[in-house]
Chains A and B, each alone.
Chain A
């Protein structure tokens, strides 16, 4: 079944390249949207019916390096794929109705291809399939971004992560002579440098997911539109990093540093995300920071035992998506206003959006609350951070005195039905999945609301004016000055000293001068015959005598 979906996605994703003309593009866009929705229905039906098949493509049949591509349709894979499939369809619909998106067809094609790659990643049973899928997701992410300033760090960071993973899997294969994930445990018995393997793996995945210290490429996305940020956050590299960690979990016990590393980076990401979501003025940056909290939470929960093949995981992802969706509604309603300090008092015009947002946040709270009953304080930390962040955002957008300019106010209106309708349906779906919300969830929602209307967050407004705070996420500067800078200086020094000074000015010059000297010498002894003849005569005699001595008189 999954192979059918996969092939459909590849074809649907590649076809836009060949489609030209406005009318044909529109028809294809419509067809793509409908067929994706139908495919989602078909997928869901097969999942519920428990359809199974074991599709395997024998890619490399060499006895030394057999590689198979697996696309097994089973419950585990369906459960993992479902939230991403749903989000992909939602984003395709959002793109279709966007007034500002110029590359609708291309973007939707890329989303299809990206989902295909994600399916391959989720179904991967060997390291090569994982690597190929992760690299394809990176490349597609690069094309989805389509903004050079946002691309730069994204591609460098992911390149580093991919090469790190490449090295890691090559290292493992060198010891175990197997690329199968089920044989990763063998490395425990045969492999060396276990700490290196674990630390490298985790660093690569942290880079991919944009966890604390590695969030710079994600922060650079704040110049993109909200839909693109959502696509990237929920379908691209941050998710691939997480899935890769799930796939390579058997490697983590190799090192005693694994658990503290995962926990440190997960908690630090949550806290940093929470701080950023409150203190940063840019709405898109807030969205990215909120998703950073989610990424940190996912990593912490994975360490605690929550795997992505459980229904609650799908709800968690969808909950995070709903929170992002609620910010999207604001952006759409306010003609893509970026700064929350330039908003305020939007409740008067965006009542409907706010009501939908309430449902979305309630669903997210319910998911986190349910998780907290099993995983204790980890989801509670995230819940706390998200609650405060949300209250601050609501306060500035909806309840504080208006700072919006006239243009924004004049254009302020609820977005199209399709946006808020879909978010509402998704919220209701998540609430349906998690059961009737607990009293605690309502209480937390009420708390957020009260905090938002209390005006306490108005004190943050001066911070939004402070450029130093707004530019405080300067980890890129750190890498620039402490990693890239020294490497470049070293390169320049080496070039100057070795290439220029030693080789060019010393070896080449010396050899050239020596040759010139010899040429001059021989020229001289040939032209100034007065002493050349006796010299050659003596030299010849000397050679004859020398060979006589060497031959011992023979």
Chain B
């Protein structure tokens, strides 16, 4: 270990301990899931506190991963677990924690089999934290694949309808990705004779043929996680099938891992030989964006609309990350921070609306008309999601898009068109929810959110506004 403070490994250890506690916690009719809920929330909050401590130790201006920690795992072959973090990873990890807290608040009174749900959620958190603090290719690979196990179980147990079908799709696509990344990692390891840090992957001196094969494998592997055509189908079908906001959010963090893979593997100095892949990737990415945004526009399922919104943004971040400009990484980080929180909250509220609709047997038209608290928060979130100046999405997307425009204006225009379509999709949905033309005094209306929930959501909205005003507020930046 290079540092006496093992803060980074604690980021993995704390959820694992939480996982064990959750398994041991009493969960029956008397406790009604309170124990496991408390343990999970406590774990998440503890980790957020840890993140804050880590943030204070980070040098914002320094490039590369910091606070490095190394654990010897195997001597032969020599494989270590190497951790490191920068502001980008930290922002994403923090956003994931907040999004999970939001989702937990959303499922507090709805989901069955709470114990296993919370336990798997914490296991997933430990794995995804591991991924975002991995500093070498082996550690990355291990956590990249390890997170699939809790995810597989979460979908299998809580994927409400057509579970078997979507689990099989999930397996096919992710297994494919896993094999490709494994091959690439093994080849690179074999080539160098030792594990390679993430920052130096793109600078390896490989033969042209090997470079093409290895990078091809890496690209396919990461793409299998991002809803890029034709890989989008497994995630979209899961999104349409899953009704639990927690599972939905967890599933929607998977594309983030693919985008993150691109960010870490292809920094500024990506090999020239690989540019061939970039062109293909750009074309596929832009087709996917247009394709999914158009389907989102016509699809009547709100979950699909949120999925299409998330997909478009993820692909935009991926394209931004592939640009040969490292300084926009932090913009992507700030943007993602707000984006993850916004989508998690939107999904949680959408699930609440759908539940209420089902309970009261009413349609979506004007559903928000008589629930001022919910209406206010939902409107705010939609406005934030479409890029209005209320969160860090606004300024940071401005920077990301301006670089994309400078890089290739046609690409930029098509991205903007997809963003416009997906923003229109969300606004259209908001309009339907707020359409009071068919509301009369005797119309059955849903129940507004509780004051406690409203306060929590106001706090989140405030957090988003703070990210708009000063993104680095939490470390006094």
Taking Cβ atoms with an 8 Å cutoff, the residues of A that contact B are: 59-60, 64-65, 67, 128, 131-132, 135-136, 139, 148-149, 151-152, 155-156, 159-160, 162-163, 166-167, 169-171, 173-175, 192-193, 196, 487-488, 490-492, 494-495, 498-499, 502-504, 507-508, 511-512
Q: Return chain B residues, CB-CB under 8 Å to A162.
A: 388
Contacts from B to A (Cβ < 8 Å): 168-169, 172, 229-230, 233, 236, 291, 294-299, 327, 366, 383, 386-389, 394-395, 398-399, 401-403, 405-406, 409, 412-413, 416, 419-421, 423-424, 427-428, 431, 434-437, 469
- Cβ–Cβ contact B431 & A155, under 8 A: yes
Give the 3 A-B residue pairs with the shortest CB-CB distance, closest first: A174-B406, A491-B294, A491-B298
Given contacts A495-B295, A508-B233, could you give 19 more A-B pairs where the C-beta distance is less than 8 Å? A64-B399, A65-B399, A128-B395, A131-B394, A132-B389, A132-B394, A135-B389, A149-B437, A155-B427, A170-B399, A170-B405, A175-B406, A491-B294, A494-B294, A495-B294, A498-B291, A503-B230, A504-B233, A511-B172
A65 to B366, CA, bound (A): 42
A139 and B295 contacting across the interface, CB-CB below 8 Å: no
CB distance from B284 to the nearest CB of A (A): 13
Pairwise interchain contact A148-B431, C-beta atoms closer than 8 A: yes
Cβ of A512: which chain B residues have Cβ within 8 Å of it?
A: 168
Q: Which of A65, A149, A159, A490 contacts B294 (CB 8 A)?
A: A490
Option from A192, A490, A508 in Cβ contact (under 8 Å) with B409: A192
The smallest beta-carbon distance between B161 and chain A, in angstroms, is 16
Tell me if A148 and B233 are in contact (CB < 8 A). Answer: no
| A548–B412 CA distance with the chains assembled, in angstroms | 55
Q: In the complex, what distance in Å separates the CA atom of A507 from the CA atom of B419?
A: 29
Whole-angstrom distance between the Cβ of A6 and the nearest chain B Cβ? 16
Whose C-beta in chain B lies nearest to the C-beta of A65?
A: B399
Identify the closest chain A residue to B468 (Cβ).
A132
Output the least CB separation between A167 and chain B (Å): 5
Instruction: Name the residue on B nearest A158 (C-beta).
Output: B427
| CB atoms of B233 and A503 under 8 A apart | yes
Chain B residues lying within 8 Å of A175, measured Cβ to Cβ, are 406
Most chain A CB within a 10 A radius of its CB, from B172, B298, B299, B402: B402
Asked whether B434 lies within 8 Å of A174 as measured between CB atoms, the reply is no
Can you name 23 A-B residue pairings with CB atoms under 8 Å? Answer: A60-B395, A139-B383, A148-B366, A151-B431, A151-B434, A155-B427, A159-B423, A160-B424, A166-B387, A167-B401, A167-B412, A170-B401, A171-B402, A171-B409, A171-B412, A173-B398, A487-B297, A487-B421, A491-B295, A494-B294, A499-B295, A503-B230, A508-B169
Chain A residues near B297 (CB, 8 Å)? 487-488, 491
Instruction: Decide: B436 and A174 in contact? CB cutoff 8 A.
Output: no
The reply to whether B298 and A492 form a contact with Cβ atoms under 8 Å apart is: yes
Q: How far is the CA of A495 from the CA of B236 in the complex (A)?
A: 12
Least CB separation from A138: chain B residue: B388
Q: Is the CB of A67 within 8 A of B395?
A: yes
Contact indicator B294/A131 (Cβ below 8 Å): no
- Which chain A residue lies CB-closest to B331? A65
With CB as the reference atom, state the residue of chain A lying closest to B328.
A64
**In the complex, A128→B295 CA distance in Å?**
32
Chain A: minimal CB distance from B298 (Å): 4
Give chain A nearest CB distance to B414 CB in angstroms.
Answer: 11
Complex Cα gap A511–B168 (Å): 11
Q: Is the CB of A507 within 8 A of B230?
A: yes
Q: In the complex, A362→B473 CA distance in Å?
A: 56
Give chain A residues whose Cβ lies under 8 Å from the Cβ of B431.
148, 151-152, 155
CB distance from A476 to the nearest CB of B (A): 15
Residue of A nearest to B229 (CB): A498
Cβ–Cβ < 8 Å partners of B435 in chain A:
148
B398:A163 contact, CB within 8 angstroms: no
Looking across the interface, which residue of chain A has its beta carbon closest to that of B172? Answer: A511
* Smallest CB gap from A151: residue in B: B431
Distance in angstroms between the alpha carbons of A148 and B375 in the assembled complex: 14
